[in-house]
């Protein structure tokens, strides 16, 4: 496993810790893809130890509440 893979794995654990299993598992496929891109950009902007829990939660809320709410997705 290279450094980038290890960093992504560690960040994924942190995201799960901040959001909790219920929020993560309730994402639609579209929300999951958009949120993954958002977190990947965040990880490229600053080191993992400088990313706050509030940033992780904020990205989630923006995607789930404003960008791609379930009520507006066509299933």
Number of domains making up the chain: 1
pTM of the complete model:
0.92
- Mean confidence (pLDDT) of the chain: 94
Is 74's pLDDT higher than 90?
no
Tokens 């960008």 appear where?
67
* pLDDT the model gives residue 1: 81
* pLDDT the model gives residue 71: 87
Q: pLDDT digits over 23-39, tens only?
A: 999 999 999 999 999 99
Tokens at 62, concatenated: 């923006």
Note whether residue 59 is domain-resident.
Answer: yes
- Report which of 71, 37, 49 is spatially closest to residue 60, judged by C-alpha positions: 37
Q: Give the domain extent around 32.
A: 28-68
Is 75's pLDDT higher than 70?
no
Note whether residue 44 is domain-resident.
Answer: yes
The Cα–Cα gap between 73 and 57 comes to: 21
Note whether residue 18 is domain-resident.
Answer: no
Note whether residue 19 is domain-resident.
Answer: no
């Amino acid at each position: 496993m290279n450094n980038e893979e290890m960093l992504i794995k560690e960040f994924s654990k942190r995201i799960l810790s901040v959001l909790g299993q219920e929020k993560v598992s309730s994402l639609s496929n579209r929300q999951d893809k958009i949120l993954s891109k958002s977190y990947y950009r965040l990880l490229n902007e600053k080191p993992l130890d400088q990313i706050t829990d509030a940033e992780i939660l904020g990205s989630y809320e923006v995607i789930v509440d404003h960008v791609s709410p379930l009520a507006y997705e066509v299933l």
